[in-house]
Amino acid sequence: MALMTGKEYIESLRKLDIKVYMFGERVENFVDHPIIRPSINSVAMTYQLAHEAEYEDLMTATSNLTGEKVNRFTHLHQNTDDLRKKVKMLRLLGQKTATCFQRCVGMDSFNAVYSTTYEIDQKYNTNYHENFANYLKYVQENDLVVDGAMTDPKGNRGLAPSKQEDPDLFLHIVEEREDGIVVRGAKAHQTGSINSHEHLIMPTIAMREGDEAYAVSFAINTDAEGIFMIYGRQSCDTRKMEENVDVDLGNKNFGGQEALVVFDDVFIPNERIFLKGEIEFAGMLVERFAGYHRQSYGGCKVGVGDVLIGAAALAAEYNGAQKASHIKDKLIEMTHLNETLYCCGIACSAEGYPTAAGNYQIDLLLANVCKQNVTRFPYEITRLAEDIAGGLMVTMPSEKDFKSPELGPICEKYFSGVDGVPTENRMRVLRLIENMTLGTAAVGYRTESMHGAGSPQAQRIMISRQSNTEHKKELAKAICGINKIAQKELLEV
């Protein structure tokens, strides 16, 4: 099958019997639901740009599995150039959608599972790697969206998976059959899960003895029997269901999406199992996926940041404050912070290295530094954008007030900005900033910057592990003379 277009992707979702619940009721037509559709449009952009000659080099690649042209979101990184192009691709998509386009988690899980299954097979003579390679060929040939699902509800964070009072708080195997396994549990905060053709499941933490049933990785089609989803609420989400609110939406066409994915005794055939009880490899899979996904934030959040910086600059211009020195300084600071995030994404890519399986892994230390910065810098960028925008961003009347025969002229009069700029333009850009910092796009920028790809503490733990402090101590010993042999070597040089 050739690369799908955005329209073909949307039509492909209509063929799936995905069970989605929102506000306590089953959503019969999720594709056209006003709250869900903007997130589908965001994913569709990952397809559409792949057909534009200007972006072909970023959006597509040659598969090492089939030799065919594939969407980069289904590709296994073959060198550091692939890793850098990934980051640039994500920045581009952030610029085009100003929100989360949801396909990164699948790409990051592909690369983590591919290398990890290879090493499991090397030790245990299993056939997980062959299973996964065949599965990924299927994904590439059909140009599918796959939700990489890692996060479990977790229950009592102080207890291991097998020690929880309710065993279902971590997804686990409840039955082993000759032809496969049956699993039960859930995956939480799942980005783009409803918009995905498939789910690729991974464990959420490193496992210990006794947790074998929880050390499981597999793939399953999204509309498989026993799977259903509960859509996550976002601030201001019901605005999309109102009439005549084009201005109030800020970002009308695009949005993010999160859901709880429930597995109610779901059967997984043997050929789609990639980990089953090998507890010592659960941690490896988690760390590799987390590293790739933390790299991703050096691209996607930067692209969204580009839009927010542009919106803040427009707001200043429409307010007549663009020449003020403090406004210029704030825009400079926003740009500095945004480009620093991008530097980290490019750096961990440039320092990538091949795994035993042959695909490329990013530098884990630099990837975690990248994501640690993402937990901070977008918050400051957001603060500065809100500062520049002014209080009207959160106090302005609705579009219906502006269009009211009685109230409209009053709103136009008192909410106008500089001469020559339509009041509606000013309202639109302020609503965009509101949407990106407080509203339905916040899940794709501000809040997700904190908790996406793991909490800030998760990155700090990895930074500690990767920091090689002992080596740094030896450097200090050599310089100050504690290590006489090393100092002698330095002097001889």
**What residues are paired with 70 via a beta bridge?**
61
Domain boundaries, the chain: 6-278, 285-473
Q: Could you report the per-residue pLDDT of 141-158, keeping only the tens digit for each?
A: 999 999 999 999 999 999
Active site residue 348: no
Query: Per-residue b/e over 418-450, b at no fewer than 16 CB within 10 Å?
Result: eeebebeebbbbbbbbbbbbbbbbbbbbbebbe
Same fold for the domain at 6-278 and the one at 285-473? no
Active site residue 448: yes
Report which DSSP code applies to 228: E
Report which DSSP code applies to 263: E
Which pLDDT score, from 0 to 100, does residue 490 have?
67
Token digits of residue 363: 């530098």
Nearest in space to 74 (alpha carbons), one of 107, 116, 114 = 107
Q: Could you report the per-residue pLDDT of 264-277, keeping only the tens digit for each?
A: 999 999 999 999 99
Which pLDDT score, from 0 to 100, does residue 79 have?
98
Active site residue 480: no
DSSP 93-156: HHHHHSS--S-HHHHHHHHHHHHHHHHHHHHH--SHHHHHHHHHHHHHHHT--EEEE-----SS
Query: Among residues 9, 135, 214, 297, which one is catalytic?
Result: 297
Alpha-carbon gap, residue 403 to 77, rounded angstroms: 52
Which pLDDT score, from 0 to 100, does residue 493 have?
65
Q: Could you report the per-residue pLDDT of 51-70, keeping only the tens digit for each?
A: 999 999 999 999 999 999 99
The one-letter code for the residue type at 472 is K
Residue 492: pLDDT band (50, 70, 90) is confident
Which pLDDT score, from 0 to 100, does residue 487 have?
72
Report which DSSP code applies to 232: P
Would you say residue 1 has pLDDT above 70? no
Active site residue 335: no
Which pLDDT score, from 0 to 100, does residue 44 have?
98
- In three-state form (DSSP H/G/I as H, E/B as E, the rest C), the secondary structure along 15-35 is CCCCCEEECCEECCCCCCCCC
Report which DSSP code applies to 362: -
Between the alpha carbon of residue 159 and those of residues 82, 185, 203, the distances in Å are 39, 16, 15
Which pLDDT score, from 0 to 100, does residue 448 have?
84
Alpha-carbon gap, residue 30 to 330, rounded angstroms: 41
Q: Identify whether the C-beta of residue 135 lies closer than 8 Å to the C-beta of residue 33.
A: no
Q: Is 191 annotated as a binding residue?
A: yes
What is the average per-residue pLDDT within 468-484?
A: 90
Residue 483: pLDDT band (50, 70, 90) is confident
Q: Could you report the per-residue pLDDT of 98-131, keeping only the tens digit for each?
A: 999 999 999 999 999 999 999 999 999 999 999 9
Residue tagged 């663009």 (tokens) = 322
Which pLDDT score, from 0 to 100, does residue 455 have?
87
Share of the chain above pLDDT 90, in %: 91
Active site residue 104: yes
Would you say residue 291 has pLDDT above 70? yes
Q: Which helix (H) or strand (E) element contains residue 67?
A: none
Q: Identify whether the C-beta of residue 273 lies closer than 8 Å to the C-beta of residue 128.
A: yes
Query: Among residues 300, 344, 348, 370, which one is catalytic?
Result: 300
List helix spans (H) across 320-363. Answer: 325-350
Q: Architecture of domain 6-278 in CATH?
A: Beta Barrel (2.40)
Question: What CATH number is given for 285-473 in this structure?
Answer: 1.20.140.10
Residue tagged 């890519």 (tokens) = 349
Provide CB contacts within 8 A for 154, sequence distance 6+: 169, 170, 204
Average pLDDT, the chain: 95
Residue 423: phi, psi to the nearest 5?
-55, -35
The SS3 assignment for 363 reads coil
Query: Among residues 99, 151, 191, 382, which one is catalytic?
Result: 191
Tell how strand 353-354 and strand 360-361 pair up: antiparallel
Query: Among residues 198, 212, 258, 287, which one is catalytic?
Result: 258
pTM for this structure? 0.95
Provide CB contacts within 8 A for 79, sequence distance 6+: 352, 360
Q: Could you report the per-residue pLDDT of 422-470, keeping only the tens digit for each?
A: 999 999 999 999 999 987 766 778 888 888 888 899 999 999 999 999 9
Q: Could you report the per-residue pLDDT of 168-189, keeping only the tens digit for each?
A: 999 999 999 999 999 999 999 9
Please report how many Cα atoms fall inside a 13 Å half-sphere around the Cα of residue 91, on the Cβ side. 21
Q: Identify whether the C-beta of residue 220 lies closer than 8 Å to the C-beta of residue 185.
A: no
Alpha-carbon gap, residue 428 to 246, rounded angstroms: 9
Helix, strand, coil tally for the chain in percent (to 5) = 55, 15, 30
Q: Could you report the per-residue pLDDT of 216-265, keeping only the tens digit for each?
A: 999 999 999 999 999 999 888 999 999 989 999 999 999 999 999 999 99
Neighbours of 410 (CB within 10 A): 13
The strand order across the sheet containing 198-201 reads: 146-149, 198-201, 216-221, 273-276
Alpha-carbon gap, residue 31 to 238, rounded angstroms: 16
Active site residue 214: no
Query: Among residues 60, 104, 292, 445, which one is catalytic?
Result: 104
What is the average per-residue pLDDT within 284-296?
A: 97
Q: Could you report the per-residue pLDDT of 356-383, keeping only the tens digit for each?
A: 999 999 999 999 999 999 999 999 999 9
